[in-house]
Structure 1
């Protein structure tokens, strides 16, 4: 197939849905499972910066001020990932959504993103 033919076919194909995983990094195994499940379903997955360790552990070597700045930076980057995504998938193992996750959900809602949940949220 010529390059022009290949380009034309790609233009006619719909882009896969982009999903951003949101939730507490205390559930790293659930992030891994959701990432694989979403990828196998044909979605492009955006996720947290590290699936291998919690932010607190990854940033433990920093001073308090550096750690606070790094966490702010990571939160801003995650909001940019939500901007890129068509939808978010909330990793709410055991129904848990902490303050950072609730802020991400509110941000996603404010920007018209579809919100899905690993577990149906409890009605409060």
Structure 2
């Protein structure tokens, strides 16, 4: 577990360096309403998301309840888009860590990500929803 936490902290650090990498994140409303850690922890996490979603290099979008079918397995997926497409890769978090870099699988994951982004609210509407969820806790 310590290794996973360390990895996520290192991965997160690239968002705060002098020339941060752009980040596009799509989160389902269900994930925002999970109560892990209790109300104070959840509220702090939502406030953190609101803060970082204002950064110019971060695009945070929420798929709200009632959108219809969810075009994903529900596993956490990180799509790393490189300057050269053939260097793209995907990390799938689940029961086991999976790293994908074959073209057919990358095409499949990119298509899923495109559908997720199309189902999600725009950034301002996403922030409004996150704010309402935080206030309701």
Structure number with greater Rg is 1
TM-score with structure 1 length normalisation? Answer: 0.27
Which is helix-richer, 1 or 2? 1
- For normalisation by structure 2, the TM-score amounts to 0.26
